[in-house]
Amino acid sequence: MLDRREFVAELLKDRGDLLVVTGLGAPTYDVAAVSEHSLNFYLWGAMGSAAMIGLGLALAQPTRRVVVITGDGEMLMGLGALATIGVKQPANLAIAVIDNRHYGETGMQASHTDAGIDLTAIAKACKFPSTHAVSALGEIADVRRLIHAGAGPIFIQAHVKAEDLPRVLPTRDGQEIKFRFMAALK
Partner 1 sequence: MDPTVEARSFWPDAIYAHLKRLGVAQIGYVPDAGHTRLINLCKADNEIADVVLTTEEEGVGLVSGAHLGGQRAALLMQSSGVGNCINMFSLLTNCGFPCLILVTMRGEYAEFNPWQIQMGSITEETFKLSGFLTYRVDEPEKVDDIVGAACDIAFAGNRPVAVLLGQRLIGRKVWNK
- The binding site for partner 1 (CB under 8 A) comprises 19, 21, 41, 44-61, 78, 80-81, 83-84, 87-88, 174-175, 177-178, 181-182, 185
Q: 13's torsion region: left (phi>0), alpha (psi -120 to 50) or beta?
A: beta
As measured in angstroms, the least distance from the Cβ of 139 to partner 1 is 28
Q: Which is nearer to partner 1, 78 or 170 (CB)?
A: 78
**Smaller CB separation from partner 1, 165 or 185:** 185
CB of 133 to partner 1, least distance (A): 24
Query: 99 Cβ partners below 8 Å, 6+ apart?
Result: 71, 72, 113, 119, 157, 158, 159, 160
Helix (H) or strand (E) holding 21, with range, is: strand 19-22
Least distance from partner 1 to the Cβ atom of residue 137, Å? 30
**130 forms bridges with which residues in the sheet?**
154
Q: Could you give the residue ranges of the DSSP H alpha helices within the chain? A: 4-11, 26-34, 50-60, 72-77, 80-88, 119-125, 140-149, 174-185
User: What residue type is assigned to position 66 of the chain?
Assistant: V
Q: CB-wise, 38 or 109, nearer to partner 1?
A: 38
> Are 185 and 61 within 8 A, CB to CB?
yes
- Residue 149 C-beta: closest distance to partner 1, Å: 20
Residue placing its CB nearer to partner 1 in the complex, 87 or 136: 87
What count of other Cβ atoms lies within 10 Å of the Cβ of residue 98? 29
- Which residue, 51 or 133, is less far from partner 1 as judged by CB? 51
Residue 74: CB minimum distance to partner 1, A: 11
